[in-house]
């Protein structure tokens, strides 16, 4: 037996490198980090000029603890930061990490909320296990609702009972919990609440030491109505994130298109209820056209210039029209070679070409709208639920047993966006010679 005497370990504080310019994920204004406000802690400092009497006062501090935290007017140590423009809370990591905005758009009931929820749930496992990238809530309070939806789908106590789909995740409201209201004098503005995640290389990643690759991922769950003309206003700038997005994911729901519906799985689960609940069998390309116009307007892009960032057309509810994809779709959208895991671009591009042809056959105007807007369009098919959606005989509503939810390719669109944004963070394999 040998005696081991460890030296006491000291924790080395790494120097914090602040960004020169911070973008607020609530109001999208930029500011230098030294202008960031602190949120007071003392109960007597209740009431903020912009957020109302029930929120703690925001302030620019003049006193700090030795640890660098601000001290409020009543001597309490403060820990939380706020944007100097809208006064809404922002995570500290936002001062150090570049934000990465990706927008998800689509008509009402196209499957955006289900897609967002199943995608983030799976990314929590796939990013660390396959890519050695940590994916964590940057602000658990801000992500509370999304976490509750994840629990409703994947940690449901009633997992072996059929539950109507509309009860697992409800339609995204146009007001309420998902929004924050700020008063700029007489003008009140309602901002959509962002879901914030930190994405950073960890042990095992080729650039594990490079803090510069870390990003703050900012996602939003809009109601489909927000993408209809006239729904984004000064008092409700619900889709302004589009202009900051590094990539746009447009959800196209084949079950909402009459031509596609005729070819869907006997339209069994969708025959009468769902698409009509969605309000209309919509012309979905109008949603894309409207989003394109907003991006041009807010990003100052001339009408003649094509959008130069990736546009991903995500064809949702694949479980309903799987049979149209006459191909061996097995296999992941990533592969490992020489000890490195990366996105399999051949696999993604091959499927994209197939899907484009299918869409061109049923809905040529959607392909035309995508081509007219962006020069870099990729088509990816997903199902948030898998093949076990069925009409519950007792309620006759489309339902699923949570234990049987098996999402298909839901992480592919975001992993593709990530590799297109930074191939050092998420590598990709392309054909030789390209």
Q: Which residues bind Mg ion (CB under 5 A)?
A: 112-113, 172
Cβ proximity to Mg ion: between 253 and 285 the closer is 253
- Return the one option of ligand GTP, Mg ion, none that residue 108 interacts with (CB less than 5 to 8 A, by type): ligand GTP
The least distance separating ligand GTP from the CB of residue 316, rounded to whole angstroms, comes to 6
- Return the one option of Mg ion, ligand GTP, none that residue 317 interacts with (CB less than 5 to 8 A, by type): ligand GTP
Cβ proximity to ligand GTP: between 213 and 381 the closer is 381
The least distance separating Mg ion from the CB of residue 114, rounded to whole angstroms, comes to 8
Cβ proximity to ligand GTP: between 231 and 421 the closer is 231
Cβ proximity to ligand GTP: between 80 and 172 the closer is 172
CB atoms within 10 A of CB 149: 20
CA distance 218 to 254: 27
Contact 131, 341 (CB under 8 A): yes
- Return the one option of ligand GTP, Mg ion, none that residue 25 interacts with (CB less than 5 to 8 A, by type): none
- Return the one option of ligand GTP, Mg ion, none that residue 133 interacts with (CB less than 5 to 8 A, by type): none
In the complex, the residues that contact ligand GTP under the rule CB under 6 A are: 106, 108-114, 165-166, 169, 171-172, 223-224, 269, 274, 316-317, 319-320, 383-385, 389, 398
CB atoms within 10 A of CB 259: 12
The least distance separating Mg ion from the CB of residue 66, rounded to whole angstroms, comes to 46
The least distance separating ligand GTP from the CB of residue 388, rounded to whole angstroms, comes to 9
CA distance 413 to 143: 20
- Return the one option of Mg ion, ligand GTP, none that residue 109 interacts with (CB less than 5 to 8 A, by type): ligand GTP
Cβ proximity to ligand GTP: between 94 and 363 the closer is 363
- Return the one option of ligand GTP, Mg ion, none that residue 110 interacts with (CB less than 5 to 8 A, by type): ligand GTP
- Return the one option of ligand GTP, Mg ion, none that residue 320 interacts with (CB less than 5 to 8 A, by type): ligand GTP
Cβ proximity to ligand GTP: between 199 and 238 the closer is 238
- Return the one option of ligand GTP, Mg ion, none that residue 369 interacts with (CB less than 5 to 8 A, by type): none
The least distance separating ligand GTP from the CB of residue 166, rounded to whole angstroms, comes to 5
Cβ proximity to ligand GTP: between 37 and 389 the closer is 389
Cβ proximity to ligand GTP: between 55 and 241 the closer is 241
HEC profile for the chain? CCCCCCCCCCCCCCCCCCCCCEECCCCCCEECHHHCEEECCCHHHEEECCCEEEEECEECCCCECCCCCEECCCCCECCCEECCCCCCEECHHHHCCEEEEEEEEECCCCCHHHHHHHHHHHHHHHHHHHHCEEEEECCCCCCHHHHHHHHHHHCCCCCCCCEEHHHHCCCCCCCCCCEEEEEECCEEEEEECCEEEEEEECCCCCCCCCHHHCEEEEECCCCHHHHCCCCCCCCCCCCHHHHHCCEEEEEECHHHCHHHHCCCCCCCCCCCHHHHHCCCCCCCHHHHHHHHHHHHHHHCCCCCCCECCCEEEEECCHHHCHHHCCCCCCCCCEEEECCEEEEEHHHHHHHHHHHHHHHHHHCHHHHHHHHHHECCEEEEECECCCCCCEECCCCCCEEECHHHCCCECCCHHHHHHHHHHCCCCCCEECCCCC
- Return the one option of Mg ion, ligand GTP, none that residue 384 interacts with (CB less than 5 to 8 A, by type): ligand GTP
The least distance separating ligand GTP from the CB of residue 102, rounded to whole angstroms, comes to 16
Contact 33, 97 (CB under 8 A): no
The least distance separating ligand GTP from the CB of residue 109, rounded to whole angstroms, comes to 4
The least distance separating ligand GTP from the CB of residue 28, rounded to whole angstroms, comes to 21
CA distance 217 to 77: 28
Cβ proximity to Mg ion: between 101 and 114 the closer is 114
CA distance 266 to 58: 57
Instruction: Name beta bridge partners: 374.
Output: 307
The least distance separating Mg ion from the CB of residue 213, rounded to whole angstroms, comes to 31
- Return the one option of Mg ion, ligand GTP, none that residue 165 interacts with (CB less than 5 to 8 A, by type): ligand GTP
The least distance separating ligand GTP from the CB of residue 269, rounded to whole angstroms, comes to 6
Cβ proximity to Mg ion: between 85 and 112 the closer is 112
């Amino acid at each position: 037996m040998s005696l081991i005497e460890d030296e006491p370990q000291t924790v080395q504080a790494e120097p914090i490198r602040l960004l020169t310019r911070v973008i607020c994920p609530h109001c999208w204004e930029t500011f230098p980090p030294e202008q960031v406000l602190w949120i007071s802690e003392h109960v007597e400092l209740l009431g903020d000029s912009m957020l109302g009497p029930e929120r703690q006062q925001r302030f620019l501090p003049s006193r700090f603890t030795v640890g660098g935290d601000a001290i409020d007017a009543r001597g309490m140590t403060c820990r939380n930061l706020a944007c100097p423009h809208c006064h809404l809370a922002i995570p500290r990591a936002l001062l150090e990490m570049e934000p990465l905005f990706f927008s998800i758009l689509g008509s009402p009931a196209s499957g955006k909320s289900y897609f967002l929820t199943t995608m983030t749930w799976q990314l929590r496992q796939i990013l660390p296990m396959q890519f050695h990238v940590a994916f964590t809530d940057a602000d658990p309070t801000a992500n509370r609702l999304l976490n509750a939806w994840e629990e409703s789908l994947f940690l449901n106590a009633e997992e072996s009972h059929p539950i109507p789909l509309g009860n697992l995740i409800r339609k995204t409201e146009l007001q309420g919990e998902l929004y924050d209201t700020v008063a700029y004098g007489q003008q009140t503005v309602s901002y959509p609440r962002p879901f914030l995640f930190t994405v950073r290389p960890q042990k095992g990643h080729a650039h594990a030491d490079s803090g510069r690759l870390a990003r703050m991922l900012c996602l939003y769950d809009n109601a489909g109505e927000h993408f209809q003309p006239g729904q984004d206003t000064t008092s409700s700038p619900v889709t302004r994130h589009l202009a900051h997005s590094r990539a746009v994911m447009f959800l196209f729901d084949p079950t909402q298109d009459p031509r596609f519906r005729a070819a869907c799985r006997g339209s069994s689960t969708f025959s009468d209820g769902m698409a009509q609940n969605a309000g209309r069998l919509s012309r979905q390309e109008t949603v894309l056209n409207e989003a394109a116009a907003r991006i041009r307007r807010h990003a100052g892009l001339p009408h003649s210039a094509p959008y130069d960032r990736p546009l991903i057309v995500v064809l949702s509810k694949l479980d309903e029209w799987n049979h149209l994809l006459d191909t061996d779709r097995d296999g992941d959208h990533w592969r490992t070679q020489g000890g490195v895991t990366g996105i399999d671009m051949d696999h993604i591009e091959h499927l994209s070409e197939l899907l484009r042809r299918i869409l061109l056959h049923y809905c040529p105007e959607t392909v035309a709208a995508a081509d007219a807007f962006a020069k870099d369009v990729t088509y990816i098919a997903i199902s948030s639920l898998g093949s076990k959606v069925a009409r519950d005989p007792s309620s006759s509503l489309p339902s699923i047993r949570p234990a049987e939810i098996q999402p298909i390719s839901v992480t592919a669109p975001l992993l593709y966006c990530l590799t297109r944004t930074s191939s050092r963070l998420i590598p990709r394999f392309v054909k030789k010679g390209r």
